[in-house]
A and B are shown apart, each in its own frame.
Chain A
Amino acid sequence: MNNLLLAPAIMVGIGLFFGAVLAIAQRFLKVDEDPRIEATNELLPGTNCGACGQPGCLPFAEKLVSGEVDPGQCTVSTDENIEQIAEYLQVDAGRAEKLVARLRCGGGGLQAHQIAEYRGFEGCRAAAVVSGGGKGCAWGCLGLADCERACTFDAIHMNANGLPQVDTEKCRACPDCVAACPKDLFELVPLNQNLYVQCNIPLAGEAATQLCAVACDACGKCAADAAPGLITMEGNLPVIDYSSGGEPRPDAVFRCATRSIVWLEREQFQNQESRKAGGV
């Protein structure tokens, strides 16, 4: 009987002892954490994508509370979420303009000339390390969907023409596709910048157009037609300088014979899709 009582008594005793230690530790060793960090973290998307430049959502929340960053730097949150965080922390939302991933190539299977057939292991980078894939153009999109696999937000899908179609609604401008592309074709561009050069060929004239039907042949008509200083030709490609002050107008693309500079309202490659739907 004695033994029967002794064991639970010891257990209770040990429990009480450690309970007391914990209670004392809680009282004297407590670290004050700002409750706002936890609350802010709750409002963040929790994808830990790193698009804001921080290692994850919690470090970003810490920086938010300390005022080092603006809520708007989280490109993944919806506008309402950003508003909520800004309201909660009593700071300016500082919403940056919406960025989307754009592909500097418009040469899909219908436009770019194939010189060989790549039948190896599927993946752009795998093809790029083996003789650069099958396309004649050494700078263009390989169309083997490394970006589609890398995208955290399911925003990239390969279209029937073999080019990655970015869903501008879903795209959160995290840099996953930028890092995944072996040809460095993706870049993050503000959605409201409508003029866009959809080509990456550093060649000029026929050397470029014999590789791809939508290659920039560096004729320079877009630079001549745009507001002065807006478009300059550098390395046989037009470079658009939005900070030059010139107003971007669709006029610049009208005389482009190869449609390598385009006026984008939302998604890329819309005309290609519709042309295909029309049976062309």
Chain B
Amino acid sequence: MKAFRRLRRNFEHGVHPAHHKQQTENLPIQRVPFGKDYVMPLGQHIGVPARAIVTAGERVRRGQMIAEPGGFVSTSLHSPVTGTVKEIGNFRGVDGRFAPAIAIEADPFATQQVDAGAAVDWQALSTEKFIEAVQMAGIVGMGGAAFPAHVKLSVPDGVRIRSLLINGAECEPYLTTDHRLMLERPEALLEGAEIMRQKLGAEESVIGIEANKPDAIAIVQKHIQPGTPVRVVPLKVKYPQGAEKMMIKSVFDVEVPAGQLPRDVEVNVNNVGTIVAIADYFLRGIPLIERVVTVAGPGVTYPANLIVPLGTPVRDVVKFCGGLKPGTREIIMGGPMMGRPIASLDVPILKGCSGVLVFTEEQTARRKEYPCISCGRCLEACPYFLNPSRLARLSKSRMFDEMKAYNVFDCVECGCCTFSCPSNIPIVQLIRTAKDDLTHRKEPDA
């Protein structure tokens, strides 16, 4: 029975959005030319913001460290271009708030050669030194959450990691960054996987790829060196297959209990982009200064997969792709299910930004909302087995504190509930609002 279940490579619940990947899945990754202004927010990862170690007017080289970690759950930043630090001040971020950032003006006459260090002899490093090196390289989870990678690597004593799971599901519609990375840099992916696996002390590496990317599965499989404990696992096409807990369920048929982490079931999950960044740093000495971004959607003239230096304003990226078509209404950073719309084209591309999606009126028009008919489709869609309709109703009546009893903080805001609602109720938006109220509410002084 268990063997039969494992054949399904599936998790419970979830939804099937149209994947819309045909727009960019066959376009090779190209490099965006260097622009003029770059803004590197100090808090572009989850955790404590980084601390700037350069001053205004200072000349920086591409790849030079410009900010050091502000704590353990924090990571460093490196200059994406050769140029001059213009200012360290507050700049508008993706969330609309102004936050401290380092503004760099690129030198138009510089060669923009990466200030790469020597390759690191990773095999000689102790685990602590390795973790520190990952932190100093500024590597974060590239799937979207931007959680510092070294924190995931620091496993407490007594916990063993059996498997390294590499997430190549890319279940969000439109996005093709991980897909293209696997197609174009399978060697780097497998090199990075081997480094991570050995340093974690894991027995095997598993690369999970959704079955709608047969070319990626074939190429990665072809590049596996005989004798290395790596296997590729095709997964059922379903959203959110790339959520780490869902993927563990699909691959190992183990559920990660609520409130626990993958390491509690002896697994470490990392995105394809993160693994490639690890390989780039340890084998080529290049810290995290750029990332692959999919620019797609019906509103963009020339969709593309691009290598974008971090800190590039979205404006420059969209300009490179031929600009916006008339009738563009919304630009989303990240995937269409979990990404956030941006209010200004001046916000920079961050470490966790996997896509810039441009939508027109047709996709963004809000459909008329009807009352909840208690059909239960959101319950069947929720991969975390919550009761979204109840949570939405409580949020509508502003009963935020009561929502804690319904485990509102287990919600990862994947959006399956809103996607499945036949009454067009903005369920995940209501839940997100309540979570924000519960975490950021100003308690009046008694």
Interface residues of A (CB under 8 A from B): 53, 115-116, 118-121, 123, 125-126, 128-134, 138, 149-150, 175, 178-182, 184, 188, 202-203
Contacts and interface: CB of A to CB of B under 8 A. Distances in A.
25 contacts: A116-B344, A120-B341, A120-B426, A120-B429, A121-B426, A121-B429, A121-B433, A126-B432, A126-B433, A128-B96, A129-B436, A130-B340, A131-B94, A131-B341, A131-B342, A132-B95, A132-B97, A133-B96, A149-B398, A179-B441, A179-B444, A182-B436, A182-B440, A203-B90, A203-B98
Nearest to A117: B329
A188 B443 CA distance: 13
Interface string B273-296: 000000000000000000000000
Interface string B79-121: 0000000000010101111100000000000000000000000
B437 interface: yes
SS of A interface (majority): loop
A179 B96 CA distance: 21
A156 B95 CA distance: 28
Given A53-B446, A115-B343, A184-B442, A125 B98 contact: no
B364 interface: yes
A260 to B, nearest CB: 18
B430 interface: yes
Contacts of A188: 444
Contacts of A175: 444
Contact of B343 (A126, A133, A149): A133
B2 interface: no
Contact of B96 (A53, A125, A132, A184): A132
Given A119-B366, A150-B398, A178-B444, A134 B433 contact: no
Contacts of B398: 149-150, 180
A178 B444 CA distance: 7
A67 B77 CA distance: 59
Assign chain B's interface to a size class: 20 to 34
Contact of B341 (A126, A130, A180): A130
Interface string B410-446: 0000000000000000100110110011001111101
A123 B436 CA distance: 12
A180 B429 CA distance: 17
Contacts of A138: 92, 96-98
Contacts of A134: 343
Contacts of B441: 179
Interface in B337-370: 340-344, 364, 366
Contacts of A120: 341, 366, 426, 429
Nearest to A123: B433
A120 B367 CA distance: 11
A80 B58 CA distance: 68
A131 B95 contact: yes
B114 to A, nearest CB: 32
A132 B94 CA distance: 9
Nearest to A54: B446
Contacts of A178: 442, 444
B93 to A, nearest CB: 9
Given A126-B432, A126-B433, A180-B398, 15 more contacts: A116-B344, A123-B433, A125-B433, A131-B95, A131-B341, A131-B343, A132-B96, A138-B97, A138-B98, A179-B444, A182-B437, A184-B442, A188-B444, A202-B90, A203-B98
Nearest to B435: A129
Nearest to B333: A131
B95 A125 contact: no
A178 B443 CA distance: 8
B360 to A, nearest CB: 13
Contacts of B440: 182
A126 B366 contact: no
Nearest to B432: A129
Contacts of A118: 343
